[in-house]
Structure 1
Amino acid sequence: MKPDLSTAAAHFIESLEPLGRVLHDKSIYPVFQPLVHLAKTGVYAHEALIRGPRGTPLHTPDALLRAAAEENLRFEFEYAALVCILTQWGLLKASGRLFVNVSAGVLTQLMQTRGPGHMAELANTLGVLPRELVLEITEHERVADMDQLAEAVGALRGTGIGLALDDFGDGHSSLRLWSQLKPDIVKIDRYFIKDVSTQGDKLKTIQALQQIASIFGSELVAEGIETADDLRVLRDLGIDYGQGYFLGHPDRTPMAHVGPEVLRVMSERQVAVFPELSRAAVAGQIRNLSVTPAPTVSQDESNDEVARIFLANAELHALAVLEGDKPIGIINRAGFMNEYTKLYYREVWGRKPCALHTNLAPRIIEREHNIDELVGILTSQDQRYLSDGFIVTEHGRYIGLGTGDQLVRSVTETRIEAARHANPLTFLPGNIPISQHIERLLKKKVAFVACYADLNNFKPYNDYYGYWRGDEMIRLIARIAMEQCDSQRDFLGHVGGDDFILLFQSTDWLVRCERLVAEFNERAREMFDEEARKAGGIQAEDRHGVQRFFPCTTVSIGAVTINGSLYSRAEEIANLAALAKHDAKRTGLGIFRRET
């Protein structure tokens, strides 16, 4: 009696778990999301994303992957998805490259079991040229054997198939993986792309990835672009390719051309305003702390030996006392030598240990100290560093000595350098970011308005009421100026003191400046006491020490319209804006527009 094949098949299907049934029924299907070439504003490629049956728990890719792991069908699922995608792409006869996700483990297994030429043969059979195919290594767990993966990738390269590394920065795609595989393309994880127009740390991360990509010869794809503002920043950063809902949603039909909104953003002449780092990153660390390499002693060293070292090193202000390579104390030269030169001291105490003269609570400064901690040292009641100096360590190990004046100089220099990047009072961009933004405007040859804002009669106010209230007034002008700027079009920088630079791409810049002047003049007046408000100002010393009357503080803004194609250096623009500011202060007008 012949077996009932239909019954056996039915039992087999019933025995399958959910994903197994989906694969048996061939009910998975692909959708395609475009990758856009940001410089050319054209569709460069599509990423194929697999879907399960609609209206079922296995519709989404995450659900399919979980089921594949639970049912131990990872290889079967990924291979079936690959065949499904290549089949559909071949039937569509779409143009451009095709990106297909594959895990490192499945790729390695495929190369080992079916040979390096299988993938290219499969693509050719289904109507896809191997050079159009890009395998996108997607890892949800760390790669277990990188060497084995690198060997598989090396074999694959000979077939003409491209290689991409997916979701770089999500914790699984490591820098070592990038370095070892040398992929043609690296896709930056969407975490670093979302809100890059407002988060300076993400922007700095992407700039660092661009440098790494240059070293390894890879091109970058920014994943997860969802807003016009983020696209502008990525465009101006020079990122190669973009992907995300703003550029195009996944669809069963590949997209032939980018949409009108994307074209508008990519063709506009506006230069994106790059966000600056958060306040926490402003202070930084002192990396150039002055250090004097100096001999050391142990607590058991004799006083005679300490004296010999001091006499042989006339410039040495102190000696560090070490236990192994760890500093435990400091001996002040002046204090020690005063005792050592006393009558009969050497005869009585010369051969005894120097522990008696050791300060066992020295000021120790780690070379990578945060600058705010060092400022705390300078302003604390404990001023031992002025007489004893301080011990410098690196990772806790002694490397040398420093003096009080060296500490003050290092802190000052670091503060000045930090202020060039971000003003410590307002946290607005300083001179370096201002110059960089002007250079970007000039490079793109756009028209913009450069404004220089300066407070009138600020010094008398600062002298009369004190620096604390003076700082509050500077913060006031910074807040009001920030409110009047379009954060995506207009750049606000703090040159220093009460001087600010505004670089407007907003066409209504004059209205914004008028609001700025009116609001500041009104609110600044409220910062004077009642008697001064009634009098319209204060009696204070001028620059020559003569008492005279100064009106309440106001703001003057000098403005100059810039044709970006006529200039090449940021200094030229800064000088023109400064001249306009002088004209504004001289004429007494709130806003003075200087013709170029």
Structure 2
Amino acid sequence: MISPELMQKKFVVKDILKHHNITSWFQPIINVERRELIGWEAFSRGPETDNGLETPAMFDTAAEAGILKPFDLMCLHTAAESFDQLQLENKLFINISNEMLIASSRLKDQVGKLIADNRVPSTRMVLEIDEKNASNNINELIEAVHFFHEQGFEVAVDHLSGIDNVGESASLHKLWSEIKPDYIKLDRSFIQNVNGSASKQKTVKEVVAVARSIGSVLIAEGVETEKELKKLYELGVHNVQGYLIQKPQLAPVAPKLDDLLDKELFAETNQKSLACDLVVSTAHVEVGTTIQSVFELLEANVHMSSIAVVENEKVKGIIFRTPFMNKYSKRQRREVVQAKCISSEMSSDLLHVDAHQRIEQVSRLVTSRAQLDAEHDFIISNEQHFLGIGTVIDLLRKVTQLRVKPDHQENILTMLPGNTPIGNCVMELLDKDTPFSIALLDLANFKPFNNHYSHNRGDEVLIMFAEILRKQLKQGASFAGHIGGDDFVLIMPQDEWQELLRSVFTEFNHKVLKFYSDNDIKQGGIESTDRNGHMRLFDFVSLSAGVMTVKEEYFDSFQSLLTQLIQLKQRTKRQLGTCLAHLNDAQIKLYSYDESGFVDEGVSD
């Protein structure tokens, strides 16, 4: 039987929904090191009456009353409308239930309408999801997050307070690696008196390593004292919100950070490059896994260079791809030992680095072992728990980024590797006879965009696109580079090019619109002069690509392969409606693109 108190609460939330009697209060989120405003978190509050509910209770009651989804949607619209009316800057962080996220991802037309109706573009919105309830429908949640990422939204995971051993939870870290959240938020329970708690400092330090290993930004919530802020900064947490900065307000003014933050305390950067930034793979098996199972895993993942062997989340050894596959490539030899445990084949003499070691230290350790071992992948651990695997190629790339030189090692604007590292990567794959797919991408209608909006705005588009490509390195791509201008390269496993590029095209098409004015969006493009000096309407900046799957083809240099890619990409310019040309086994196929993905337009002559 429902209690009178619960009945009253349900009546209150239904009445709030019926009359849209909700207000949005905003609290700033800042970066301490750069003294920058990242954005604002929206808090939904009901009417101030004797029957009013605290915000968490309001949403719990809405769920019990069966109206959580429309309640969520009302709060989202109210927050976006208030955010726009107040002309608040940067990102809007807003809580949304996992159920609402999953339901919305299935209603693609409704999401499209939601994006169109909102005055705040999807690229400025961060959807905060509930970590505690994630295990209830994990596969659907992962799929929903990927869908919203493709629509241009960013995602944050929140509400970690009910989870034990956050820093050491392998299942939680696995979820994060699959969801790939843009932000991870540590709530007040981890932050309160962190300066006086060794256990909390240990937890924060562990989460910093995990967040950086998957490319997520960590935000500390509920910072209320300068001592807490100082300790968080020392631990590597630079993004914070809380009463120390500013309480939630109905009509806030951006905090004056120069007055708020101690200039001497935060004068020097401590954003050092650490070993946790080098994680490129989390491939691992348990010590009891059979040799046959490991062989099948490596056979199915041709770009997996090594696998960690773990027991109770601690690394016991490593399997290096090349010697293992060479030894067991013949079935007769495998059949003799296929049921044996992989522990009998693992190498226990491995390089083990701590997640918080400086990259310069890792480089010295790798160099000192280089003449001793033919295989150079290394294990990265966080408080003795397996975090991931690092490779020498990625280590070299990171060291190069720390020493930017004007010799094509790295593009100064986008910070992606330039011509020399791209060529080295390609030639290494060719020398090893490793099949791969490579895409040369450029931005169609980029020149008229530059002429119309300025080169500074064009640079912003290039940086945005570089970040999209960099994100693909976490999705399975092998290498991303910037040749120069608006020409970029993405190297991928041979059979994964279509899925990875679909994600790139979808995200770019959504994000590029934020660089246009409302009038240009309404008219479907910009009016600018063409090469003949005539004014005409140019479509929005879009992507075109020449893609080649390289198996047994011979190329004496990267330049000869690049020449063929350029010729492939030019085919998309000649045939109206196509955006991608793919060469595989001497056959060229052309593709157009729509919201569902690439559409096969047939074989090209």
Larger Rg: 1
TM-score by length of 1: 0.40
TM-score by length of 2: 0.40
